Chain A
Amino acid sequence: MLVLVTGGSGSGKSAYAEEKILSFGQGKRIYIATMFPFDKESDARILRHRQMRAGKGFETVERYTDLKGLKLDPDSVVLLECMSNLTANEMFQEEGAHERTVEAVMEGVKHLRDSVQHLVIVTNEIFSETAQYLGETALYQSYLGEINCQIAGEADEVTEVVYGIPVYLKGGCVPDEKNVE
């Protein structure tokens, strides 16, 4: 199953996505971390997410680019967080895909979906504001928007999390409490 979880900043997307992974039961839980630790603020953010995941049985795999080259146990249930970072990495990091970002990310998503049990992807809504961007930032928005649309097209479930409340956009339902550990 492929699940896309989206939402704004500080909306509780991660907590919802983790709960979704737990609802799949006991498989091998893998957390693909895409945030490159480049300053104190990202260190703090990474630490906060590590604390949230503590005790939930996740193995963390750091992956900043080239999702397609990632080999995982076929029994895995995988949480990929988050698409906004992966997209930026592919665009701006030296070993990234640059102008092939959308293709590279989508090839990676399909590769993972086909090679593990369940894949939950967290992404970000960064498309509703008054500011208008130029150059790289505008290109970044267009890439991420395209990626979100394409993943949603492939996904079995798409959920927007609004301040912790799931708003179901495609498929999905309230996770069965009995299945949540």
Chain B
Amino acid sequence: MELIIGGAFQGKSDYAKKQHPEICWKEGRDLGADEIFTASGVLNLHEFIRKEMQAGQDLEGFGEELIRRNPNLILTSCEIGYGVVPVDAFDRAYREKTGRICTVLASYSRKVTRVICGIGTVIKDA
């Protein structure tokens, strides 16, 4: 597994595509709940998480299941946890869940890269 993270509009998707031109990339928001387990590359995992939570899924154990069922997946996700605690309860839950899931995925990933201004800094290379 490999994780590419960073703030919005930092060039994560372009970076991911450049690093892995062979991958067939899918957008997280377009993936069905089960399709993510067979994808080879997912852009914007946070949008998948939001979509699933809006559909009423609590995503408990989702990170672990993704590691088990799709261990070679390459993902990008937005870092959304760097602001004031949101007033809206759903936004709070979504923000925290995205952090927890990405932390689980990062612990399993052989490589984690943080993209800022289109430039990737590798923060984990196991």
A residues contacting B by CB (< 8 A) are: 7-12, 41, 125-129, 131, 133, 137, 140-141, 162-165, 167
With A126-B85, A129-B83 known as contacts, the answer to whether A162 contacts B114 (CB < 8 A) is yes
With A10-B103, A165-B112 known as contacts, the answer to whether A129 contacts B82 (CB < 8 A) is yes
B residues contacting A by CB (< 8 A) are: 3, 5, 7, 79-85, 89, 92, 95-100, 102-103, 105-107, 112, 114, 123-124
A137: nearest chain-B partner, CB-CB: B84
- Report Cα–Cα, A137/B86, bound state, in Å: 11
Least distance between B5 CB and chain A CB atoms (Å): 7
Least distance between B112 CB and chain A CB atoms (Å): 6
Q: Are B83 and A11 closer than 8 Å at their CB atoms?
A: no
Complex contacts, A10 vs chain B, CB 8 Å: 81, 95-100, 102-103
Least distance between A147 CB and chain B CB atoms (Å): 15
Q: Are B82 and A163 closer than 8 Å at their CB atoms?
A: no
Chain A's interface: helix, strand, loop or mixed, by majority? loop
Complex contacts, A164 vs chain B, CB 8 Å: 103, 106-107
Complex contacts, A163 vs chain B, CB 8 Å: 3, 5, 99, 102-103, 105-106, 112
Q: Are B83 and A126 closer than 8 Å at their CB atoms?
A: yes
Complex contacts, A126 vs chain B, CB 8 Å: 82-85
Complex contacts, A140 vs chain B, CB 8 Å: 84
Most buried by A among B84, B95, B112: B84
- Report Cα–Cα, A102/B124, bound state, in Å: 35
Least distance between B62 CB and chain A CB atoms (Å): 13
Least distance between A180 CB and chain B CB atoms (Å): 16
- Report Cα–Cα, A40/B106, bound state, in Å: 30
- Report Cα–Cα, A164/B102, bound state, in Å: 9
- Report Cα–Cα, A41/B124, bound state, in Å: 33
Least distance between A105 CB and chain B CB atoms (Å): 18
Least distance between B114 CB and chain A CB atoms (Å): 7
- Report Cα–Cα, A156/B112, bound state, in Å: 26
| Additional A-B contact list (5), CB under 8 Å, known A8-B99, A11-B103 | A9-B85, A126-B84, A162-B79, A162-B106, A163-B99
22 A-B pairs with CB atoms under 8 Å apart are A8-B79, A8-B99, A9-B81, A9-B82, A9-B85, A10-B81, A10-B98, A10-B99, A10-B103, A11-B81, A11-B103, A41-B92, A126-B85, A127-B82, A128-B7, A131-B84, A162-B79, A162-B123, A163-B3, A163-B102, A163-B106, A163-B112
